[in-house]
Amino acid sequence: MFARARNNDPTTSMEAAASIPKEMHYDIILRTLYSYGALGKDGIARHSGLRPDQVWRRLSELNKLNLIRPTGNLVKSDAGRNEQEWDIYGD
């Protein structure tokens, strides 16, 4: 459904992308947002134990599933740049 390997990637990359436990990441991200409230990608990563790249790959997927939404606010990333803040859909 949300494959992360490109068509021209090596077979090993495609296999690795297929084995990513995205549902587990979904659960961790949702629990983090429930526990801490609205956060940016780096805030979610910091509180959840996931890497920032693991978080940002799942944010748009969770948004498409209507589980989270952007708040419209920008927060500072760990690098000091603006990033989108996310929250549980409907909260």
User: What amino acid is encoded at 64 in this protein?
Assistant: K
**Cα angle: 23, vertex 24, 26; to 5 degrees:** 60
Q: Look at residue 21 in the predicted model and tell me its pLDDT.
A: 79
Contact in structure between 4 and 61 (CB atoms under 8 Å): no
Instruction: Report pLDDT digits (tens) over 33-75.
Output: 999 999 999 999 999 999 999 999 999 999 999 999 999 999 9
E strand spans, 6-81? 39-40, 68-76
Over residues 68-91, mean pLDDT: 94
Give the pLDDT score at 2: 44
